[in-house]
Amino acid sequence: MTKKKLLIKNALLIDPKNEMEFIGSLLVEKGIIKEIFNKPSPNYDISDCKIIDCKKNALSPGLIDMWVFAGEPGYEHIETIEDISNAAKASGITSIACRPDTNPIIDEAELVQYIIRKSEDKSQINILPIAALTKKHEGKNMTEIGLLKEAGAVGFSDAYNEINNTNILKNVFTYASNFNAQIMQLPVSDLDKFGVMNESEISMRLGLPGIVKISETIALERELRIAHHTKVKYHSMCISTSESYDVVNKFKDMSDKITCGVSINNLKLNENDVAAYRTFFKVKPPLRSENDRSYILENLNNDTIDIITSNHEPQGTESKRLPFEEAAYGAVGIETLLAASLSLYHEGYISLSKLMKKMSYNPAKILNLENTGSLEVGKKADLILVDLDQPWVCDADKLTTKCKNTTFENQKMQGRVLLTIVNGKIIHNLID
Amino acid sequence: MNKKNKDSLYLPQLTHLLGIEKLSPQDVNFIIKKSQGWFEKNKNKPQKTDILRGKTQINLFFEPSTRTQSSFELAGKRLGADVINMSLKQSAVAKGETLIDTAVTLNAMKPDLLIVRHYSAGASELLSQKVDCSVINAGDGSHEHPTQAILDALTIIYHKKKIEGLKVAICGDILHSRVARSNIILLSMLGADINIVAPKTLLPNNIDAYKVKTHLDMREGIRDVDVIMMLRLQNERMLSSYIPSAREYFQYYGLDEDKLSYASKNAIVMHPGPMNRGVEIDTSVADNVQSVIKDQVEMGVAARMAVLETLASG
């Protein structure tokens, strides 16, 4: 007979909300965190418990990845919800927010419901749809933000499409604030239309059209001003330059509704990685200079950067095996997010609980997910157990996702997920 | 052993010619010396040789080109190679075949030399990773056009007897020019002082990374120079707001008799072709005694023969 309760003992508990780490144990019942003990082996009647001895490995809320291309609907040949769920659960991600720029674009409540139904059927992790801000991402007519939100959209984004008309942008933001909807935007402008990598000495030497930094700053400042003016909840998804960091910082001083994120690629890599036209390093936002990377990284321990995302964007070989200018943007990231992020902790840039906060508690707060992302009594048991030190090498051929376009090929990684629990149910287990 | 003897014994170990940036000064000097040899031999009635007999050379052009393609074709034929021309603007590309598919197909035909012109930077580099033969970059996007730089150097040496210490002005659309990049790298490698002349919109932001002086005023930029290299201005630049009109461009950046008078009295005028007369260069200047544009074409065949020979035997 299966035991009703789950006692996870002798763990290094990561409490991202309070930024604390302590040895303790935790009781799960009916999918909910029932009790937290600050002892490795609590005095508790264990007759009805399945017991897991964590051997002092780290137990954290599962990761919430806020910007993921999940392929459905329309791009099932490169990614599916089922595949991504399998990749995510083995990589410590218990929730993903999926991008609306699919085919069709997620601009109707029925499409949000489709993704939710599909997830219930095919996914063991939480799939959270993001809906479009404007219909067909054309920047003209706003979507039914109220109905979409009611259907389950956690955020609203026009993804890589700029809303050119400032009047429309202002109205959309104002209307979104009416429903307390979360805007999730990328700083894109038509200044970067022809560029394919960061504009710098390297792009010039390679003869590649560059993406100027101000393209990002201009888009960011424009939208932040309107967001601040309309008092809408605004999240800037992936910033990549030191200037953008300063801009966000300034606006965060004025408003508590503004948040910001960064892609793990921009924390780990820089433009030099493009080297001799390596298309796997063609990503959006582009890999920037080492100065930009280190500036953001050195400020990671502050609260300006709220979240870290994998920016998972699968691309088939055929769209990457092209001359650099013609190759598609993007890199898969689901399976490397945790280990690549942990390296920032191992290298001393950030504390463990703070790092996990940016990938669990903060995303949950931004996406208004009240039940997950935290190690608190009464929250859903979406948990991961991580061996922080276990080494492995990223081998593209061994990735679970259909596409293998990783930026971390052959990189030495540190940190393996031993156990993944969603809703109190163990869905990935390397212990037993 | 003194330096001269050392150089004369030097044999470049080159598999491909993808850009000047990957060459050492010895490589460049070696190829120039070989080119000079071919130029002398071609001067009289050129004879066919059998240096490349039994070798197959494929000219793979994804962009239309008359001059470069025929120059490579002639160079290959004079060396005795079997030359195949493939212009892929209409055929395979239109059918959705990728560059790599094309490369794999051609590779199966076992060519020895693959000459590639492509509209994307890095295309020849990509091809070189996928084929077993030598790849020569005949122009890739805005990146490099190495054989043009070699033939330009050859032309300069022919007229000026040297490159070291010469003042060279490169004028026009630097931003989009592969000719400019290859020439800047090669000429500064050989010790020339380089002035860059262009309106700001056609100047790459990080041009200072090269050892060049930039000038927005053309008269200043060509003052006392020994060599003026003009670049072709593509017509589409007018449409995307780089410059307002051909008329205004010619007024400030077109080479006419007046601007030419600021250069050294014996300055030579070069242009990689094809020229837009009345846009970047005045007809009278293009055809006057200082113009060496026709010599460049002649040097092109010799330079390409030298490159083909070097790679085929490397």
Enter the ipTM. 0.89
Cβ-Cβ contacts under 8 Å for B206 (sequence gap 6 or more): A199, A200, A201, A203, A204
Nearest to A325 among B120, B144, B178 (CB): B120
Nearest to B126 among A206, A318, A323 (CB): A323
d(C-alpha A411, C-alpha A331), whole Å: 15
Work out the minimum CA distance from A160 to partner chain B, whole angstroms.
22
Confidence of residue B94 (pLDDT cuts 50, 70, 90): low
Q: Hey, what are B274's tokens?
A: 């094809």
pLDDT, residue B6, reads 56
Which positions in chain B touch A200 (Cβ < 8 Å)?
206
Work out the minimum CA distance from B122 to partner chain A, whole angstroms.
6
- Average pLDDT value for residue range A148-173: 97
**Chain-chain contact of A321 with B98 (C-beta, under 8 angstroms):** yes
Report CA-CA distances (Å) from A412 to A267, A269, A294, A409, B249.
16, 14, 20, 9, 54
Counted across chains A and B, CB pairs separated by less than 8 A come out at 66
Per-residue pLDDT reduced to its tens digit, B105-147: 889 999 999 999 999 999 999 999 999 999 999 999 999 999 9
Q: Classify residue A40 by burial, with Cβ atoms within 10 Å: 0-12, 13-18, 19+.
A: middle
d(C-alpha A83, C-alpha A86), whole Å: 5
**Chain-chain contact of A199 with B206 (C-beta, under 8 angstroms):** yes
Confidence of residue B4 (pLDDT cuts 50, 70, 90): low
Which positions in chain B touch A318 (Cβ < 8 Å)?
98
**Chain-chain contact of B118 with A323 (C-beta, under 8 angstroms):** yes
Which positions in chain B touch A209 (Cβ < 8 Å)?
142
Nearest to B122 among A199, A204, A324 (CB): A324
Which positions in chain B touch A323 (Cβ < 8 Å)?
99, 118, 120-123, 126, 140-141
pLDDT, residue A193, reads 85
Q: In A280-356, at which residue ranges do the beta strands (DSSP E only) sit?
A: 307-309
DSSP β-bridge partners for residue A8: A26, A52
**Chain-chain contact of B140 with A207 (C-beta, under 8 angstroms):** yes
**Chain-chain contact of A207 with B206 (C-beta, under 8 angstroms):** no
**Chain-chain contact of B120 with A324 (C-beta, under 8 angstroms):** yes
pLDDT at A41 over 60: yes
Per-residue pLDDT reduced to its tens digit, A290-328: 999 999 999 999 999 999 999 999 999 889 999 999 999
Closest CA to A94 of A359, A344, A311, A314: A359
Alpha helices (H) in A102-255, listed in sequence order: 109-122, 145-151, 166-178, 201-206, 213-230, 242-254
Work out the minimum CA distance from A405 to partner chain B, whole angstroms.
17
Closest CA to B158 of B217, B106, B227, B60: B227
Phi, psi for residue A230 in degrees, rounded to 5: -90, -5
pLDDT, residue B91, reads 54
Per-residue pLDDT reduced to its tens digit, A176-215: 999 999 999 999 998 888 899 999 999 999 999 999 999 9
Per-residue pLDDT reduced to its tens digit, A358-384: 999 999 999 999 999 999 999 999 999
Query: Which region among A125-139, A331-345, B56-70 has the lowest average model confidence (pLDDT)?
Result: B56-70
Could you give the dihedral angle defined by the CA atoms of residues A314, A320, A325 and A328, in that order, rounded to the nearest 10 degrees?
-20
Q: Is B187 helix (H, G, I), strand (E, B) or coil?
A: helix
Nearest to A324 among B100, B121, B209 (CB): B121
Query: Which region among A219-223, A365-369, B60-64 has the lowest average model confidence (pLDDT)?
Result: B60-64
Work out the minimum CA distance from B100 to partner chain A, whole angstroms.
7
Which positions in chain A touch B178 (Cβ < 8 Å)?
207
Q: What's this model's pTM, rounded to 2 decimal places?
A: 0.93
Q: Which residue of B has its CA nearest to A319?
A: B98
Confidence of residue B1 (pLDDT cuts 50, 70, 90): very low
Residues of A with CB under 8 A from a CB of B: 199-201, 203-210, 212, 276-277, 318, 321-326
Nearest to A207 among B99, B181, B205 (CB): B181
